[in-house]
Chains A and B, each alone.
Chain A
Amino acid sequence: MKLRDDFPLPDLEWPPTRPFWQAAAEGRLAIPRCEMCGRYVWYPQATCYACQGTRLTWTPVSGRGRLFTWVSVQRAFLPQFAGEVPFVPALVALAEDPAVRLVTRLVDYDLAALTIDMPVEVVFRPLRFPGVAREVMAPLFKPTRD
C-alpha cells in the first residue's frame, strides 16, 4: 500500500478537512455548522445529516468539552508512534454540541486521574514524526477544572 511521504501527518490540502487544519495552524478550533438548522456537522460532509441543508459554514468553537473516552497505548501499532508510547488517544465531546466527538490526543494529564466526562480544553501543539520533515499544528486537549 502506497501512502503519502508525510504519513501519518494529515494532508493539509484534502478539501473536506483543509479548513480544520488551516484553523488549527492559526490556533483556532473550527467545526462546520449548518446554516439551515444550526447543528454542528461532524465529520465534515456536503449536506447536514439532520436537515439535509447544503450551506455549511466553518464556525469557531470554544475548545471546551468533556472527555468522552480514552485509551493508553502501551505498544505502537505504527512505527511512527514507537517513540511516543505510552500515549493517550481520546475522544472529546464538544461543549457546544456533544454530538461532535473530536478524535484527539491528551497532553498535560495525570493518567491515574482521568475520568470519563471530565472537563477538557483545547491546546495547540505541533505533531512531529520521525522521518517526516514537516510538522503540523494540531488541536490536542488537556484536563481542566469545571
Chain B
Amino acid sequence: MGHSPADWGFASPYENVGGEVALVGAGEADHSKASGRSPREIAAQAIERALGDAGLRPRDVDGLMYTPMADHQFTAADFHQSFGTPHDLWVSTQGGGMVWAGSAPYEAALALRARKARCIVNVFAVAWATQRSDMVGGPGEVHAQELYKQNLEVPFGWFPQPVYFASIARRHMHAYGTTSAQLGAIAVACRRHANLTPAAVLHQKPLSLDDYLASPMLVDPFRKEDCCLISDGGAAYVMTTAERARDLRHPVIEVAGVGMGTSHTGVFWSQQGRGDARAFVSTPQVFSAPTAFAMADLTPADVDVLACYDPFTIVSLMQIEDMGFCPKGEAGRFVEGTRLHFDGGGLPYNTHGGMLSHAYVLGIAHVIELVRQLRGQAAAQVRDAEIAVYGGYTGPQASTLILRRQ
C-alpha cells in the first residue's frame, strides 16, 4: 500500500487465534421501523433464532457477550429471565455490535482457549426507531452528552453524525476527486441487495443512480440516501471451537483472522490525525486490516464478499481503500458501476443491504449475512463464496474479521 500510517493510531497486539473459533449459529430478530419493542425483547428473539439455527438449546450456552451501552445490554440476568436457565455464564462486555461485532470472536477465542466457556453467544439489539423522539439528535444523543462536543462543537451546529461524515466526505472529494455519483454507486448497490433480501427494511423500495442524484441534499454533500436507516432490530451469533463445530449441523465457518485498530483522537472526528490531513479522511482500518490479513495468511485479493459497518456511504468508501482493496484515494473509481453488486464480478459488498438499506443494527447483521454467504444461504448469493470479511467501525476504532468456510 506504500503508506505508513504514522502516529495517528495503532493496531492492537492480537495473538494468533486463526482457525480456533467457528461461527455455528446466526439469527436475526425482526427488523422494522418503530415497533414498540424493547431492546431486551429483540435480543432474546435474536438469540432464540441463532440457537435454533445452530441446533443448540439455551442450556448449551455458557458464555454471553454484549455491548455495555446503557439501554442495549443483554446481561446474564436477562438471559436467564428470557430462557429460564439457572447455570453460570461467562460474561464479556467486549461484544455486541459496531466494532465489537468484528472483535468479539477474538475475545471468545481467548475464553475458549482458557476453558472459561465452550459455547458463546454474541448479541446486539437496538430500538432507536421507537425511542427516537425522546432522544436529542436521535442516535447523536451520545455525542450531545459528551462535554467537549457540547462546549466546542454543538453550539456551532457541528452535530450530529451526518454533519461529521459529510465534512469528511467534502475533504475526501477535494483530496481525491471523489464524486457524488461514486457515493451514489454505493447506495445503489446496497439498495439493490436490500431489494433482494426479504428481511430488509427497504426491501420494497428501489433506488437508481438517477433517483439518488435527483434527491435533495440533506447536509451537502450528503443526501438522505448517503445516511443509514434508523430502525429497530437485532441479531446474535453463536461461537464455539472449530473442533466442536464439526459435530454441529452446518459447514464449519471459521475465524481465519481478526484485527483491531484505534485512533488516538477517539470520538473527536474534527481532530482526527491532527496535522495529518490524510488521516482525517481515513479509518482505523489502516491499523486493523493488516493484523487480520496477516493472521489469516490472506490478502484482500482473496476476499469473495465484504461487509462493512456503513453509517454513511463515505465510511464504506474509506474502509474499502483503508483495508487495501484499492490504493488510498481510488475507492471512488473502484466502486463505480456494478463492482459492488453481488453478481457484478467485482467485490460483492453489503449483500444484505447494509445499514443504508437492510437494518440499523450496528453491524451485527453484516456478520450474520457473511455466515449465510459462506454457507450458500444468502438471498443475494455470491457464487462459491469461501472467504468473507467484516469491517467494523465506531469512529475511534475499527475491527477486521476474516471468515473462511472450511
Mark A residues whose CB is within 8 Å of B: 1, 3, 7-11, 14, 16-17, 20-21, 42-43, 49, 68-75, 77-78, 81, 84, 87, 89-91, 97-99, 101, 103-105, 116-117, 127, 136, 138, 140
Q: Which of B148, B150, B156 touches A89 (beta carbons < 8 Å)?
A: B156
Taking the nearest CB of chain A, how far is it from the CB of B349, in angstroms? 25
Question: Which of A70, A84, A98, A136 is the most central at the interface, judged by chain B CB atoms within 10 Å of its CB?
Answer: A70
| Contacting residues, chain B, for A74 (C-beta < 8 A) | 216-220
| A78→B168 CA distance, assembly (Å) | 21
| Contacting residues, chain A, for B141 (C-beta < 8 A) | 1
Identity of the chain A residue whose Cβ is nearest the Cβ of B271 in the assembled complex: A101
The 3 closest A-B pairs by CB, nearest first: A99-B275, A72-B220, A99-B274
A78 touches B158 (CB 8 A): no
Given contacts A10-B151, A77-B162, 9 further A-B contacts (CB under 8 A): A7-B136, A10-B155, A11-B147, A14-B151, A71-B167, A75-B218, A103-B153, A105-B156, A105-B157
| A53→B149 CA distance, assembly (Å) | 24
| A75→B155 CA distance, assembly (Å) | 16
| Contacting residues, chain A, for B218 (C-beta < 8 A) | 74-75
Identity of the chain B residue whose Cβ is nearest the Cβ of A10 in the assembled complex: B151
A7 touches B150 (CB 8 A): yes
Interface string of B163-192 (1 = CB under 8 A from A): 100111011001000000000000000000
A116 touches B171 (CB 8 A): yes
Identity of the chain A residue whose Cβ is nearest the Cβ of B167 in the assembled complex: A69
Interface string of B15-50 (1 = CB under 8 A from A): 000000000000000000000000000000000000
Question: Which of B157, B220, B268 is the most central at the interface, judged by chain A CB atoms within 10 Å of its CB?
Answer: B157
A71 touches B163 (CB 8 A): yes
B159 touches A78 (CB 8 A): yes
Q: Which of A72, A77, A127 touches B159 (beta carbons < 8 Å)?
A: A77
| A43→B148 CA distance, assembly (Å) | 8
| Contacting residues, chain B, for A116 (C-beta < 8 A) | 170-171, 174
Q: Which of A91, A98, A127 touches B167 (beta carbons < 8 Å)?
A: A91
| Contacting residues, chain B, for A75 (C-beta < 8 A) | 218-219
| Contacting residues, chain B, for A81 (C-beta < 8 A) | 157
Q: Does B140 contact A (CB under 8 A)?
A: yes
Q: Which of B147, B163, B275 touches A73 (beta carbons < 8 Å)?
A: B163
| A91→B162 CA distance, assembly (Å) | 15
Identity of the chain A residue whose Cβ is nearest the Cβ of B171 in the assembled complex: A69
B170 touches A73 (CB 8 A): no
Q: Does B152 contact A (CB under 8 A)?
A: yes
Q: Which of B135, B147, B157 touches A1 (beta carbons < 8 Å)?
A: B135
Q: Does B228 contact A (CB under 8 A)?
A: no
| Contacting residues, chain B, for A10 (C-beta < 8 A) | 150-152, 155
Q: Does B144 contact A (CB under 8 A)?
A: yes
| Contacting residues, chain A, for B140 (C-beta < 8 A) | 77
| A1→B144 CA distance, assembly (Å) | 10
| Contacting residues, chain A, for B138 (C-beta < 8 A) | 77
| Contacting residues, chain A, for B150 (C-beta < 8 A) | 7-8, 10-11, 14
Taking the nearest CB of chain B, how far is it from the CB of A50, in angstroms? 9
| A72→B174 CA distance, assembly (Å) | 16
Identity of the chain B residue whose Cβ is nearest the Cβ of A86 in the assembled complex: B220
| Contacting residues, chain A, for B134 (C-beta < 8 A) | 1
| A77→B148 CA distance, assembly (Å) | 19
Taking A70-B167, A74-B217, A77-B163 as contacts, is the C-beta distance between A17 and B148 under 8 angstroms? yes
Taking A1-B135, A74-B219, A105-B157 as contacts, is the C-beta distance between A89 and B174 under 8 angstroms? no
B152 touches A17 (CB 8 A): yes
Identity of the chain B residue whose Cβ is nearest the Cβ of A17 in the assembled complex: B151
Taking the nearest CB of chain B, how far is it from the CB of A117, in angstroms? 8
Taking the nearest CB of chain B, how far is it from the CB of A92, in angstroms? 10
| A75→B215 CA distance, assembly (Å) | 14
B219 touches A71 (CB 8 A): yes
| A99→B279 CA distance, assembly (Å) | 12
Taking the nearest CB of chain A, how far is it from the CB of B157, in angstroms? 5
Identity of the chain A residue whose Cβ is nearest the Cβ of B268 in the assembled complex: A43
Taking the nearest CB of chain A, how far is it from the CB of B228, in angstroms? 14
B137 touches A77 (CB 8 A): yes
| A3→B134 CA distance, assembly (Å) | 12
Question: Which of B222, B268, B270 is the most central at the interface, judged by chain A CB atoms within 10 Å of its CB?
Answer: B270
